Structure 1
Amino acid sequence: MRRTRLTLAAAAAVATSAGLLAAPSVASAAPEDVTVQLLAMNDFHGRITPQTGADGALATSPGPDGTYGNADDVIVPVGGAAHVAATVQRLETTFRETTQGPADSFFVGAGDLVSASPFESSVFKDEPTIEALNAMGLDVSSVGNHEFDRGTEELRRISAATDGTYTDDVEACEGITPGVDGCFGEGEHAFEGAEFPYLAANVVSRETGEPMLPPYQVLRTPAGQRIALIGVVTESTPTIVSPTGVTDVTFTDEAEAVNRWVPELQRQGIEAIGVLVHEGGTVTDPNAAPTADNCTGLTGPIVDINARTSAAVDLIVSAHTHNAYNCRLADPDGTPRLVTQAGFYGRLVTDIRLPVDRATGDVDRGSAAYAATNVPVTREAADPGVQSIVDYWNARAAGPGNTVVGTVTGDLLRARNGTAVVRNDESVLGTFVANAQLAVARTRPELGDPVVAFMNPGGLRTDITAGEVTFRELFDVQPFSNTVNTLTLTGAAIDDVLEQQFRGATNTTDLVLSTSDGFRYEYDRSRPEGDRVFDCSITVDGTPVSPTGTYRVAANSFLAGGGDAFTAFRTGTDQVTGPVDVDTSVEYLRANTPLTPPTGDHAIPVTTPSCSG
């Protein structure tokens, strides 16, 4: 049975709270319209506990100079599941009190609600986040690429999709860190799967040729109107999740999948149609995220997806790029269409208003009421029911999570361009992880004594600061529960791996791997793609790597399977599965505490190589 979205006490609290940012003021619909409110969230990533630091702060208005991005911006704390719940309830209450005529509200998601999550959710395979979303009353969500991080079978488990009801799968709970074993909650927190449908119109079963999960969901208003939402995920998903976990499905073009189902919905007499797509774009002014019309310089895949998506679609809720925007882009018929995104981590909720014509059942896009606003999830009110769920799982995680593993004498940081975290450079944190994987793999005879370890930048999800380091902090860096595998590559294949880092005409698309100490190479990015690494410069402990030689290497199971389009790893032979990745960091730090941060600097940009040949 679906939990009520908020307790009566919480509803009263949010209804009377003035809030740091008022609910959006939206024009009234025409008398013949029925207004529907969609409240949208994306890329939550299990942030059930209010996040700290920059991830938990948002500029809600500029300083005296009228521009964002300065020290005098008005900054407020945002995020946390209980505050998302309270914000949703407040916006629903205000909407119903101020809208004339019939109205209804729905809470929707656009994927990546789970995985890449903090310790208190990820260590329990994100069952805490699913429980919180159930309690928040989420009505429907598309899948995101991170919903596939643990493979299709685990997605079916958490979405209760095997036969429409949840069945506990003991095997799905194996491999969890000792001390937090179990599947997982007890009593009222016993896991029964998602109470909302996950949609996946473009994720097609190889066996049946049909979507592995429902392609769409029809929402019905009390006034009898129907709105259908089609869910799709980025077609690039197989390249950014472990390939071995998605072998039973194919990922098709997002717009083509949507267009396939639009006629089916119209045959059912449904004309009000929206899309929840886990793909997005980038705006040039992300500091203006809280504003209602921030669509400055929108670029990225969502622009093309919108241009190819049927004009019968009235709304596109996007995700994946962690930007916040509300745009009006022309559909194929030239009619403006809302395209939105609510940033990331539950910092914002998009308040979308759809006036539905009573006679035609279609969205009246010419109405002044057709609009969207991004609303900050401030922390002045919290739903006690959702808060109790968060408190339960934090208490469960406290023992093992707060165990001190060791100390570091300096910060272990991801690569940065100024203050922004980037993926086009190696990092001190990545070198630490690679060093740990190599050192621990060398203590396991069955892994074959590797000589170098590689670490992908996208697998590093947070930084570690100087001082004592807990198990929770190490887990938060690598929350995917990959294993450290070893395999044998030729020297030519290692060169191919390095070439695959430098993609396209500019370095913005590069994915530069961190490597273990003792590995070194030189490159010139101005050279043609595929020939940017100087082969003669690739060395292990000072010895040149021979193209025809064979070398044992270590990498997490994601990379070893060709993840992030590092397909050269797939040429490897004799792959052996090793320990869970975070366990190697724990073992290595314990053995080397206090640890001095490594320097990295294994990838050397040059114009003239130091070698010849």
Structure 2
Amino acid sequence: MTKTLTRRGFLATSSSLALGAALMPSFIVRANATPNPGELAMVPAAHNPNGAFDRVFLLKGDALGGPIKAIVSENGEQVPEATLSEGEQRVLRLLHFNDMHNHLTEFHGKRGDTHRFSQIVKMVKDAKANAQDNEIVLFLSAGDDHTGSIFDELMGWAPDEFVVDAGYRAYSEAGVDISVLGNHEFDRGAEQLRIGLEKDCTFPVLSANVFGSDHMKPNEHYAPAAVAEVKGLRIGFIGLTTAIDTRVGQPSDPNLAVASPVEAIKNLYPAVEAVSDVVVILSHCGYGKGQHTSGKAATARTIGDGDFAIAEAVGPMIKKPAVLVGGHSHTLLNEEGMDQGNMVEGLLLTQALAHGKYLGDISMSIAAHKGQEGWFNSVAVHPTKKRDQRVASDDPNFAKFEQPSDYDVAFEQAVIAPMVEKLDEKLAEVIGTVSDDTLVNTKRTIADRYVGESALANFMNDTLIKRSGTFPGGAVDFALFNATGLSTGIHQGDLTFREWFDVMPYADAVHVATMTGAQLRDFLNNNAKRLLRPEEVQATDLTGFVSRGFLHFSSGIRYEIALGESAEDAQAINITLHGKPIEEVLDHEFKMAFNTYISLGGFGESWNGKPIGGGVAGNIPSMDVRKLSFDHTGLVYRNEIIAAIREMEVISPETGVVLDERLVVKA
């Protein structure tokens, strides 16, 4: 491709000149590469030595201030130029996963351990070993690389507790080439995330719309975009993070914010495409837009500016091959090959469920300098297998379950096993004994959590009340927990740390709000409208997320839900607080213990003034709990429950496993 150097120092390509300066920004080469407004600096960066990039350049600057009109090069540094001859073919194969949530290895005493990530590593290594000379195999993560398994405990809650960032350490060793910041990356705070990035991450991490953190700096710890060069092909990457579910507003990082991914991509896309042969959008924003049902959502969930909105915004700008690799909503796309419904404005949307259950696979055959002519793609997903060592080798289903030949045993032993060893003592610790699981087993917990009173939620909330005497601000009156935070039940016999972690895997602290009786009345009324109604149950997969923010409470709150004809009609009636009718205590003040997720407004579950989502009809406004006055205790919700279980030793009706009709649902 011919280069032209103008008197002003602009370096442009013949293709960019043909497409017009308005759409295709130029290079500016100058000694000081600090970008001005409307510019990005192209800066060479280290890439994962175990990955596939030959070179990588980060595009640094402000992606939110307005359209990017130029890209500056650091001190005349060599930048990736279009070196392929016209029509020369490259096959770009993108092997991708999303929402691993640290499910690197899933542990099970009876079935045996499932080596999810090591299965994926084997698939990637096999693909690279079998690649043709003109084929490029990249390994990508679409975010949420933290929160959801016992490996999270290695990250700690404070700098002096940090042991290892298990996800980033495993990805670095496995050869992951690039990732995007997901919302759950921030669950333990940006300071812990920064430590993980600095100590264990050897690949670039992107986000064009996260900003303001006091602990992580854009263009230092992450960048808006990147351009990688492999076998002469220039691959542009843009990272986008959901603005709906990221934990902003925490006291430890009050300025952390997430802007609209749509605005970021509109500003960035033409500039990135101008210096690339193909563009990959890494979107941890969710499948759909607005309210949408897919993946882990059993009813409609607030997605906001998700992948549909991104595609609609960027579609008219696309002049070269492009694809969107998605995450956040835990959606399995293109399972049977390319689904035309996932071609939005000419942009292919992909996603590979979650927790390492699938590896996504996109193959793009690209003819250099042909724009969108002469290229095509194909998509597939490759499932991983569960382990079940109880299945005999002569069983017809034996091959359906994970065997040593299905995963990279050497990788598991060299990379994952040392981290497991660090966890072994904590994982195996018996924290208590369950005397009877009739009310708290998984089947019962899943059946109860969205439709009414739950014995396991009762136990958790009442236990926190008992523990609250040790809180810095003293005992609290009431406690709550959201139904979606109850992920599984517990079973009769010894209860290990690992099993309780699976019950409540999310990283929540304890925040205490002061509420009047009148506010609590309004709170309970709003909660009544979020119940999964009897007429909805049969058509709802109760194992999924009913993301409408339904809450369970401790025993000091007793009330009934009168369902009425619709959610809009549902009301909390016959409310008593500490045994007194609500009408007698409307002016009294009470202390309520919240978990982090709800105290920050419930994000997509809408305790933030926005309409209740999750499939609730009627555009019903939610109560905005963010306006309450909170005391941030610094205590970890799960740790408080575990400490109490250790003290009580036996989990039983006598220690709080009860259904006491604190909530009664009435037709």
TM-score range, shorter chain: 0.7 to 0.9
Aligned to 2:418: 392
The AA in structure 2 aligned to 1:538 is I
Q: Is contact 1:45–1:345 with CA below 8 Å preserved after alignment?
A: yes
SS of 2:191's equivalent? helix
Change (3 A) 1:121 1:488: closer
Asked if residue 599 in structure 1 is aligned to residue 659 in structure 2, the reply is yes
Aligned to 2:9: none
Aligned to 2:340: 328
The AA in structure 2 aligned to 1:427 is S
1 or 2 for the larger relative contact order (CA 8 Å, sep ≥6)?
A: 1
SS of 1:375's equivalent? strand
Aligned to 1:276: 282
Change (3 A) 1:505 1:259: farther
Asked if residue 510 in structure 1 is aligned to residue 510 in structure 2, the reply is no
Give the one of 221, 224, 230 matched to 1:221. 230
- Structure 2: how far apart are the matches of 1:582 and 1:299? 26
Q: Is contact 1:484–1:578 with CA below 8 Å preserved after alignment?
A: yes
- Displacement of 1:550 in angstroms is 0.7
- Displacement of 1:266 in angstroms is 3.2
Aligned to 2:171: 133
Asked if residue 42 in structure 1 is aligned to residue 76 in structure 2, the reply is no
- Displacement of 1:196 in angstroms is 1.3
Structure 1 segments unaligned to the other structure (5+ residues): 7-29, 58-76, 161-191, 288-296, 608-613
Aligned to 1:106: 138
- Structure 2: how far apart are the matches of 1:242 and 1:461? 25
- Structure 2: how far apart are the matches of 1:43 and 1:474? 21
Change (3 A) 1:298 1:249: closer
SS of 1:259's equivalent? helix
- Structure 2: how far apart are the matches of 1:241 and 1:48? 27
Higher mean C-alpha displacement, 315-324 vs 151-160: 151-160
- Structure 2: how far apart are the matches of 1:423 and 1:256? 36
- Structure 2: how far apart are the matches of 1:109 and 1:539? 49
Q: TM-score with structure 1 length normalisation?
A: 0.73
- Displacement of 1:481 in angstroms is 4.8
Superimposed CA distance per residue, residues 132-182 of structure 1 (whole angstroms, 9 cap, x where no aligned partner)? 11111111111111001122233222223xxxxxxxxxxxxxxxxxxxxxx
SS of 2:172's equivalent? helix
Aligned to 1:570: 626
Superposition map of 1:402-551 within 5 A: 402-411=428-437, 413=440, 427-444=454-471, 446-501=472-527, 508-526=546-564, 532-534=570-572, 536-545=573-582, 546-551=585-590
Cα RMSD for the two superposed structures:
3.8
Give the one of 318, 338, 344 matched to 2:348. 338
Superimposed CA distance per residue, residues 186-227 of structure 1 (whole angstroms, 9 cap, x where no aligned partner)? xxxxxx2311122111113389997773111222221x1111
Superimposed CA distance per residue, residues 51-91 of structure 1 (whole angstroms, 9 cap, x where no aligned partner)? 5599x99xxxxxxxxxxxxxxxxxxx965222221121123
Change (3 A) 1:524 1:314: farther
- Structure 2: how far apart are the matches of 1:555 and 1:299? 21
- Structure 1: how far apart are the matches of 2:189 and 2:123? 32
SS of 1:385's equivalent? helix
Higher mean C-alpha displacement, 499-508 vs 374-383: 499-508
- Displacement of 1:393 in angstroms is 1.6
Give the one of 357, 360, 365 matched to 2:367. 357
Identity of aligned residues (%): 24
- Structure 1: how far apart are the matches of 2:499 and 2:265? 40
How many equivalent pairs are there? 510
Change (3 A) 1:234 1:573: closer
- Structure 1: how far apart are the matches of 2:558 and 2:49? 56
The AA in structure 1 aligned to 2:104 is I
- Structure 2: how far apart are the matches of 1:586 and 1:407? 12
- Structure 2: how far apart are the matches of 1:199 and 1:279? 13
Change (3 A) 1:202 1:502: farther
Q: TM-score with structure 2 length normalisation?
A: 0.67
SS of 1:325's equivalent? coil
Superposition map of 1:88-99 within 5 A: 88-94=124-130, 96-97=131-132
- Displacement of 1:48 in angstroms is 1.8
Q: Is contact 1:232–1:277 with CA below 8 Å preserved after alignment?
A: yes
For the pair shown, the structure with the greater C-alpha radius of gyration is 2
